[in-house]
């Protein structure tokens, strides 16, 4: 892609309405544009990053055997009345009357609808366990939307639902999701800690929040440092292995504000291992048994002819929110570096272009075409701006690798730079090999 063609409205200065760094960067780098309070359009740069995150979330769901479907954004109020949540949900639910006066709503979550789909589709114990998920836009009518995509009204979310015959079976499904979440966040370049959490309006008796560390986070967290040393790579998809992984996490103290107790913290964690910091919630999982299957009458036949309410859990990841969360974790001193796995481009090509001398442009064009041929996704800065101005733009765009054609490059060697890393003088072939190796690691 030529930078001159890319639809990327960059801003020179921080917009005054943006109070946190993810909101600032997303506006300045032309990733999003507000269309009304708490509602954003995703411009090509931001969209591309969000799509890559979505795909990683999807792949990790598929790996544990979850099946993707898609529920609509607009739901009938009826099933919410069946579950009893229609009144409970309050003003954050966007309530709608259609042209015939029927009560509808824009789904803020999907426990009711998935239960309705399940109860009318599955009749026998033989079809269980079942893990279903979708990735769809949700709406919460926030009274004071703020912080860009971190607390907005229309947001993109993966929500999964598990269906089992017994509490014991259901815990296995819960643990599978626990495992998928750790792998998902790891692939996004994030260290996420699962923390025992309150269940809130979703209900139930078992719940974990997944929190990533960020100084600007809205949750205060208290943890035993050693929790960061757990190696998830040692664990496989098998129930036993996942179970032992969960036990490892349970061994270490890690809670947010609402579950914090100073006495317990001091008793369970040695002073030198105590970590108090801030974090951002990027995922939340719940086990709630028959909380929805009972009022919605979702039953399956057992082998002995009896009927039983299915045991359910729900599992959310904020996909659009993660774009902001990654920035909060990685954007420092006006310099962004996207993790390789979700970078909008594989590499930036930044030549110093002189109006009156085409040689540098022609050389860059040759490199560009060669990279394209190798399926390396490159953003080519074909503008005539000064190199220093170009670097400032790329500090915001955050592509982790740069090929620079400036004073240090001679005929067939070029400056290859990793953001916050070292700079080398390499041939095009060496650069291509490096990029292809990095891509294969993701």
Under the binding rule (CB under 8 A), the answer on residue 137 touching its own copies is yes
Binding residue for its own copies, selected from 47, 260, 265, 391, defined by CB under 8 A: 47
Q: ω into residue 436 within 30 of 0, thus cis?
A: no
CB of 81 to its own copies, least distance (A): 13
Distance CA 298, CA 166 (A): 14
| Smallest distance from its own copies to CB 403, Å | 23
What is the rounded distance in angstroms from the CA atom of residue 313 to the CA atom of residue 94?
Answer: 24
Please tell me whether residue 389 binds its own copies under the rule CB under 8 A: no
The pairing of strands 311-318 and 274-289 is: antiparallel
Q: What does the DSSP assignment read for 79-96?
A: HHHHHTHHHHTGGGSEEE
How is residue 202 written in tokens? 């979703």
User: Given the complex with its own copies, which of 117 and 308 has the nearer CB atom?
Assistant: 117
Figure out which of the listed residues 55, 86, 141, 395 binds its own copies, where binding follows CB under 8 A: 141
Taking the least distance from each CB to its own copies, the nearer of 72 and 421 is 72
- Residue from 14, 44, 165, 203 that binds its own copies (CB under 8 A)? 44
Smallest distance, Å, CB 44 to its own copies?
A: 5
Site for its own copies in 76-105 (CB under 8 A): 76, 78, 91-92, 94, 96, 98-99, 102, 104
Q: Which C-beta is closer to its own copies: that of 152 or that of 245?
A: 152
- Residue 153 lies near its own copies (rule: CB under 8 A): yes
Q: Note whether 147 and 324 are within 8 A (CB).
A: yes
Q: How far apart are CA 379 and CA 110, in angstroms?
A: 39
DSSP 8-class letter at 340? G
Would you say 163 or 394 has its CB closer to its own copies?
163
Closest CB 287 distance from its own copies, rounded Å: 20
Q: Do β-strands 307-309 and 39-42 pair in parallel, antiparallel, or remain unpaired?
A: unpaired
| Nearest distance from C-beta of residue 78 to its own copies, angstroms | 8
Write down the least CB distance from residue 177 to its own copies, Å.
Answer: 17
**How far apart are CB 281 and its own copies at their closest, in Å?**
22
Question: Rounded distance, CA 167 to CA 288, Å?
Answer: 10
Q: Contact between 437 and its own copies (CB under 8 A)?
A: no
Q: Which residues lie across from 221 on neighbouring strands?
A: 256, 277
CA distance 347 to 416: 10
Q: In the complex, what is the shortest distance from the CB of residue 340 to its own copies, in angstroms, rounded to a whole number?
A: 21
Token pair of 329 as six digits: 């974790």
Looking at the Cβ atoms of 89 and 260, the one nearer to its own copies is 89
Indicate which single residue of 18, 25, 27, 43 sits in contact with its own copies (rule: CB under 8 A).
43
Instruction: Identify which of residues 120 and 356 has a Cβ nearer to its own copies in the complex.
Output: 120
Question: Which helix (DSSP H) or strand (DSSP E) does residue 121 occupy?
Answer: helix 111-121
| 323 is a site residue for its own copies (CB under 8 A) | no
Query: Closest approach of Cβ 65 to its own copies, in Å?
Result: 7
**113-132: contacts with its own copies (CB under 8 A):** 113, 116-117, 120-122, 126-127, 130, 132
Q: How far is CA 120 from the centre of its chain?
A: 32
The distance of closest approach from Cβ of residue 139 to its own copies in the complex, given in angstroms and rounded to an integer, is: 7
Restricting to residues 48-67, which ones interact with its own copies according to CB under 8 A?
48, 50, 65, 67
Does 139 sit near its own copies (CB under 8 A)? yes
Taking the complex as a whole, the smallest distance from the CB of residue 434 to its own copies amounts, in Å, to: 26
**Region at 199 (left for phi over 0; alpha for psi -120 to 50; beta for the rest):** alpha
DSSP 180-239: HHHHHHHHTT--EEEEE---GGG--SEEEEEEEE-TT-SEEEEEEGGGGG--GGG--SSH
What the block records as the tokens of 424 is 């080398």
Three-state DSSP class for residue 28: helix
Which CB sits closer to its own copies, 71 or 165?
Answer: 71
Between 382 and 395, CB nearer to its own copies: 382
Query: CB of 112: closest distance to its own copies in angstroms?
Result: 10
B/e letters for 43-60, b = 16+ CB within 10 Å, e = fewer, are bebbebbbebbbebbbeb
Report d(CA 133, CA 315) in Å as an integer: 9
**Cβ–Cβ < 8 Å for 238, 355:** no
- Judged on CB neighbours under 10 Å (0-12, 13-18, 19+), 257 is exposed
**Nearest CB to its own copies, comparing residues 5 and 355:** 5
Interacting residues toward its own copies by CB under 8 A: 4-7, 9, 30, 33, 35-36, 39-44, 47-48, 50, 65, 67-76, 78, 91-92, 94, 96, 98-99, 102, 104, 106, 113, 116-117, 120-122, 126-127, 130, 132, 137, 139, 141, 143, 153-154
């Amino acid at each position: 892609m030529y930078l001159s063609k890319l639809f990327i409205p960059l801003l020179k200065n921080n917009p005054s309405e943006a109070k946190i760094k993810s909101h600032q960067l997303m506006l300045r780098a032309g990733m999003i544009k507000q269309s009304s309070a708490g509602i954003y359009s995703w411009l090509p740069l931001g969209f591309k990053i969000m799509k890559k995150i979505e795909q990683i979330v999807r792949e990790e769901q598929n790996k544990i055997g979850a099946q993707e479907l898609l529920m609509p954004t607009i739901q009938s109020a009826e099933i919410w009345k069946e579950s009893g949540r229609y009144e409970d949900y309050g003003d954050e639910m966007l309530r709608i009357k259609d042209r015939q006066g029927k009560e509808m709503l824009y789904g803020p979550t999907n426990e009711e609808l998935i239960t309705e789909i399940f109860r009318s589709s599955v009749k026998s114990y033989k079809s269980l366990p079942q893990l279903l998920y979708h990735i769809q836009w949700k709406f919460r009518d926030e009274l004071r939307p703020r912080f860009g995509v971190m607390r907005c009204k229309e947001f993109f979310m993966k929500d999964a639902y598990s269906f089992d015959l017994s509490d014991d079976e259901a815990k296995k499904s819960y643990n599978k999701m626990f495992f998928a979440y750790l792998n998902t966040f790891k692939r996004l370049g994030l260290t996420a800690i699962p923390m025992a959490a309150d269940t809130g309006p979703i209900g139930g008796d078992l719940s974990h929040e997944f929190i990533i560390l960020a100084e600007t986070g809205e949750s205060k967290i208290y943890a035993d440092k050693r929790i960061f040393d757990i190696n998830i790579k040692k664990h496989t998809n098998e129930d036993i292995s996942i179970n032992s992984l969960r036990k490892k996490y349970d061994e270490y103290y890690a809670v947010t504000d609402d579950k914090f107790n100073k006495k317990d913290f001091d008793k369970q964690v040695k002073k030198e291992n105590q970590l108090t910091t801030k974090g951002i919630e990027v995922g939340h999982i719940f086990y709630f048994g028959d909380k929805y299957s009972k009022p919605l009458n979702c039953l399956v036949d057992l082998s002995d002819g009896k009927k039983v309410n299915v045991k359910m859990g729900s599992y959310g990841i904020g996909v659009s929110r993660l774009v902001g969360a990654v920035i909060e974790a990685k954007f420092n001193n006006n310099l962004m570096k996207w993790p390789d796995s979700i970078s909008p481009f594989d590499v930036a090509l930044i030549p110093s272009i002189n109006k009156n001398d085409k040689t540098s442009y022609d050389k860059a064009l040759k490199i560009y075409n060669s990279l394209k041929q190798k399926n390396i996704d490159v953003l080519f800065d074909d503008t005539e701006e000064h190199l220093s101005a170009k670097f400032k733009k790329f500090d915001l765009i955050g592509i982790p690798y740069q090929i620079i054609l400036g004073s240090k490059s001679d005929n067939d060697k070029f400056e290859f730079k990793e953001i916050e890393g070292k700079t080398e003088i390499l041939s095009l072939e060496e650069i291509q090999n490096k990029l292809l190796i990095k891509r294969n690691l993701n």
